[in-house]
């Protein structure tokens, strides 16, 4: 964190120098326009191109077939404010001091604000605009974040205002970075509470027309006690305690319809880009801040470390640069990797202090996969009714390790290859003791590397660690 603060002014200055000698972007080696399209609470499996037959997402599917889809992309934190703050700074939420959607744990420092993506791209000659939901370290966009706000939060009219902006940039001699951020399918939160939906209700249908319950609907005998207590304690966030199986099926129906609604809005953007003939010099990235439980493990909302909440869609398209209809199984962190990737495309030097990777070589086929063995996801339950449960997840190429800071069954190990729905906890299986030790060690070293001191004090320390806990907190980070 401190190293990044020291480096930030240097690469901001570099951006200014680039800006001063900038002469347009008509040549092949000049920076592209960049469009980031985001949805909220959109799990990776909620796309028809991902094999889900309970919904149809033709527009997002079309974007995927025009480029590359990653099926192992993860949020840094399955909650809006921490995840979004990560995306726009390239840092883990704990390094930013963000662990919640509200209050003192939902704000970043003035120094960190200087490193927000738009501030850096702007200094390198980009026009930066933002439309829709912000909800990073403030609820709404304010000055100092580097963006021109072209549309407030709200899915109705967001596409139209974004298209107006695109038209204004059609003949510009400067590249632009436009973020279009949709609220849906986040409205499933209001639906679960039986509240009016902001952009139109989803009518109930007959039971036979609702999706079946997921195969992992039932909470297992090793379901983490801490999660169960958090779920019971906060009935407004988790109003599903008295749900029948039929209620859950209506929930899944509503969730998928909300995804389809936002897919239609995204289609307007993509159609306009084709009409304006702006696709050929535009890098488009589609992702989400986190997923939704969607009845898996009897869970709605996010914040848990199960796949449904942490695994997010991630799609990129750039005609002539990224080959069509490609799928990639690299482990990526959208909160850590999107930031250096966009700096790379903007021809800005990537600070060495950043933990994330530029994905540009993978996008363009120069590398088949990222050189990474695992990604880490963090979480915390916050709010007036929460017990403050903290957790970390280490997702490897095959196995996934979750640990919470308290409660029975606080550790989990899943074989995602043979058990993609996380139904069998292998943590006490003697055949996997070495794997458990490996993942504990990975988490331990990650916490040291990223100065995750608070959680490091909470976890089961790996017996294989070479670092003594007695000297751990005396070491500089």
With a cut of 60, say whether residue 461 has pLDDT above it: no
- The pLDDT assigned to 140 comes to 78
Give 35 or 100, the one with higher predicted confidence: 35
- The pLDDT assigned to 106 comes to 62
In the numeric block, the tokens 């490609």 are attached to 326
Q: Among 322, 397, 414, which residue's Cα sits nearest to residue 64?
A: 322
119 φ, ψ (degrees, to nearest 5): -60, -40
Give 80 or 112, the one with higher predicted confidence: 80
With a cut of 50, say whether residue 133 has pLDDT above it: yes
| Rounded Cα distance, 403 and 411, in Å | 4
CB 150 within 8 A of CB 161: yes
CB 235 within 8 A of CB 18: no
The CA distances from residue 57 to 32, 47, 54, 60, 256, in Å, are 27, 6, 10, 6, 10
Q: What's the average model confidence in pLDDT over 130-140?
A: 87
Identify the weakest region by mean pLDDT among 11-15, 56-60, 81-85, 460-464.
11-15
Q: Among 381, 41, 406, which residue's Cα sits nearest to residue 230?
A: 381
Q: What's the average model confidence in pLDDT over 462-467?
A: 44
With a cut of 70, say whether residue 206 has pLDDT above it: yes
- The pLDDT assigned to 241 comes to 86
- The pLDDT assigned to 431 comes to 98
- Reported as a single tens digit per residue, the pLDDT across 380-403 is 999 889 999 999 999 999 999 999
Residue 413 β-bridge partners = 401
CB 139 within 8 A of CB 166: no
Neighbouring C-alpha atoms within 13 Å toward the C-beta of 14: 13
Q: Where in the chain is the domain with CATH 3.30.1120.10?
A: 376-472
With a cut of 70, say whether residue 317 has pLDDT above it: yes
Q: Among 100, 132, 285, 163, which residue's Cα sits nearest to residue 141?
A: 132
- Reported as a single tens digit per residue, the pLDDT across 215-245 is 999 999 999 999 999 999 999 999 998 899 9
- The pLDDT assigned to 28 comes to 60
Q: Among 285, 85, 25, which residue's Cα sits nearest to residue 179?
A: 285
Kindly state the helix (H) or strand (E) to which residue 228 belongs, with its residue range: helix 225-233
| Rounded Cα distance, 182 and 164, in Å | 17
Which residues have a Cβ under 8 Å from the Cβ of 430 and sit 6 or more positions away?
none
- The pLDDT assigned to 332 comes to 98
- Reported as a single tens digit per residue, the pLDDT across 323-339 is 999 999 999 999 999 99
CATH no. for 376-472 = 3.30.1120.10
| Rounded Cα distance, 423 and 461, in Å | 25
CB 389 within 8 A of CB 301: no
CB 260 within 8 A of CB 225: no
Give the confidence band of 460 by pLDDT, cuts at 50, 70, 90. low
CB 117 within 8 A of CB 337: no
The CA distances from residue 119 to 116, 145, 167, 255, 314, in Å, are 5, 7, 23, 35, 23
Q: What's the average model confidence in pLDDT over 270-286?
A: 97
pTM of the model: 0.90
- The pLDDT assigned to 107 comes to 73
Q: Which CATH architecture has domain 2-373?
A: 3-Layer(aba) Sandwich (3.40)
CB 92 within 8 A of CB 450: yes
Give the confidence band of 471 by pLDDT, cuts at 50, 70, 90. very low
With a cut of 90, say whether residue 169 has pLDDT above it: yes
DSSP state for residue 212 in the 8-state scheme: P
With a cut of 50, say whether residue 446 has pLDDT above it: yes
With a cut of 60, say whether residue 470 has pLDDT above it: no
Structure tokens at 245: 């199986």
DSSP 18-74: HHHT---S-STTSPPEEEEEEESS--TT-SGGGT-TT---HHHHHHHHTSEEEEEEE
Q: Among 424, 432, 385, 425, which residue's Cα sits nearest to residue 404?
A: 425
Q: Where in the chain is the domain with CATH 3.40.720.10?
A: 2-373
The CA distances from residue 309 to 45, 134, 222, 297, 457, in Å, are 10, 20, 18, 11, 25
Q: What's the average model confidence in pLDDT over 155-165?
A: 98
Using CB atoms within 10 Å of the CB of residue 293, give its burial: 0 to 12 exposed, 13 to 18 middle, 19+ buried.
Answer: buried
DSSP 310-378: HEEEEEEE-TTTS-SSEEE---EEHHHHHHHHHHHHTT-PPPTT--S---HHHHTTSSSS-S-SEEEEE
- The pLDDT assigned to 103 comes to 65
Give the confidence band of 142 by pLDDT, cuts at 50, 70, 90. confident
- Reported as a single tens digit per residue, the pLDDT across 21-75 is 333 333 467 899 999 999 999 999 999 999 999 999 999 999 999 999 999 999 9
């Amino acid at each position: 964190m401190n190293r990044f603060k020291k480096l930030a002014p240097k690469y901001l200055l570099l951006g200014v120098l680039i800006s001063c000698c900038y002469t347009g972007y008509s040549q092949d080696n000049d920076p592209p326009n960049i469009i980031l399209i985001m949805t909220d609470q959109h799990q990776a499996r909620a796309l028809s191109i991902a094999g889900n037959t309970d919904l149809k997402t033709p527009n997002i599917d079309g974007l995927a077939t025009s480029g590359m889809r990653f099926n192992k992309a993860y949020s840094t934190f399955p909650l809006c404010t921490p995840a979004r703050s990560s995306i726009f700074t390239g840092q883990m939420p704990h390094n930013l001091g963000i662990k919640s959607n509200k209050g003192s744990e939902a704000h970043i420092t003035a120094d960190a604000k200087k490193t927000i993506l738009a501030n850096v791209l702007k200094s390198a000659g980009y026009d930066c605009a933002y439309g829709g939901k912000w909800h990073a370290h403030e609820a709404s966009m304010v000055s100092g974040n580097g963006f021109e706000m072209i549309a407030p939060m709200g899915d109705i009219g967001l596409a139209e205002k974004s298209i107006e902006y695109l038209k204004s940039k059609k003949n510009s001699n400067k590249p632009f970075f436009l973020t279009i951020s949709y609220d849906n399918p986040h409205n499933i939160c209001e639906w679960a509470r039986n509240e009016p939906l902001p952009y139109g209700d989803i009518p109930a249908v007959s039971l036979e027309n609702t999706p079946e319950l997921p195969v992992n609907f039932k909470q297992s005998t090793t379901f983490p006690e801490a999660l169960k207590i958090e779920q019971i304690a906060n009935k407004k966030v988790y109003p599903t305690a008295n749900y029948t199986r039929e209620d859950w099926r209506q929930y899944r129906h509503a969730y998928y319809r909300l995804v389809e609604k936002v897919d239609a809005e995204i289609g307007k953007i993509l159609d306009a880009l084709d009409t304006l003939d702006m696709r050929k010099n535009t890098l488009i990235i589609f992702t989400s801040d986190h997923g939704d439980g969607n009845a898996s493990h009897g869970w709605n909302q996010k914040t848990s470390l199960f796949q449904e909440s942490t695994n997010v869609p991630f799609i990129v398209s750039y005609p002539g640069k990224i080959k069509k209809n490609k799928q990639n199984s690299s482990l990526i962190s959208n909160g850590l990797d999107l930031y250096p990737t966009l700096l790379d495309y903007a021809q800005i030097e990537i600070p060495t202090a950043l933990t994330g990777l530029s994905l540009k070589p993978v996008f363009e086929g120069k590398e088949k996969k990222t050189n990474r063995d695992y990604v880490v996801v963090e979480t915390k339950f916050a709010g007036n009714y929460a017990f403050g449960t903290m957790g970390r997840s280490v997702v490897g190429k095959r196995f996934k390790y979750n640990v919470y800071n308290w409660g029975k069954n606080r550790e989990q190990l899943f074989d995602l290859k043979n058990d993609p729905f996380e139904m069998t906890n292998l943590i006490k299986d003697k055949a996997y003791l070495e794997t458990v030790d490996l993942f504990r060690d990975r988490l331990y070293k990650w916490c040291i590397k990223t100065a995750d001191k608070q959680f490091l004090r909470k976890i089961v320390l790996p017996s294989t660690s070479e670092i003594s806990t007695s000297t751990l907190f005396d070491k500089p980070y």
